[in-house]
Structure 1
């Protein structure tokens, strides 16, 4: 009798310990993902921050108070949105689009409007309730603006599209008319690493951790548009996301 009672108590104790360990492990997974995401989001290029503030300052010196106020407000909103996003593992597409609009507005200011940009959201997508990891596209957008448009004769063009695939998947596309993957690699033969490769490497590592800890499947694809049509040049980046 005592043996059976001891066995029951032992079984209950082991079960409780197992439950506690599982819950602790899940909390640690979530904490790890949040910390990693905060680190990634905090790595917004310091040159971008400095140059944006310098550009705003130039409007102040030229007594263009309206433009200075406009871009300073955009910078403040971008900073607030990035801080908000860094506290969450996922954000709405609506929130992400707002963040990118402020980011692109400031980048356009920095580079004296040398490129055009547009953001398209498929009407089939509920942008307010569809959640995605924040700032996934930012490294590729930054790469296109700061490096991809160098060396092209025509005006830079950047298109970010949020496309509905089916009720379980959306796709984000970032398309530019920059130098493209092949020319970018040829420009850095010694190092073997170009800016696009570094952006891809960082993003793949992030996706690997999201897949492992969040169980969220995201497929990243890069296409050199010149390899499809020799008359074109640029890069197409695709994120297929399970929702």
Structure 2
């Protein structure tokens, strides 16, 4: 877990200090409180209202009491510190969930699961494409991992429960249905030899044509 915490610290450090993110953090923090009230918010100095963001209340619900305590009770912390602390906690949760799910699905060694967590942490850095932070991103990783585990374990009610909570974080909770549909589709293919053979030929042809196209497109580079 120390390894996971160190990875989480690195991810949050990059996320927090990349580009001008420090400059816009005040707007992002205020945006979390505005989301809870259904109000317009300010991004990059401009007032706006994005309907797709209105369900993203899980992080604000956790941030509000933490920031309130930091401002009213603590003499050492402020709302910015509370935001960064919660970001660190969600990063730890995401990477720890990845480690736990990898162990649960494949029964792999702790070292291999740690390698997966390292790869995830490295990959997350490349998703920080915006000038401001998206507090939903790390929780999204956690929920997708849990939904994958529930799907593999064939636990529909658990998957539904995770999706309901994940819907408070981001609209990607809808992928729970996609995961379950893919599982059912895979099972139906396995029970029909002709359909399985047809899909196999399609995938083989697709990979062959894709490889040829890739070679042709790369040829001018050499």
If the length of structure 1 is used for normalisation, what is the TM-score?
0.29
> Which has the higher relative contact order, 1 or 2, with Cα contacts under 8 A spaced 6 or more apart?
2
Greater fraction strand:
1
- Structure with larger Rg: 1
Instruction: State the TM-score, normalized to the length of structure 2.
Output: 0.31
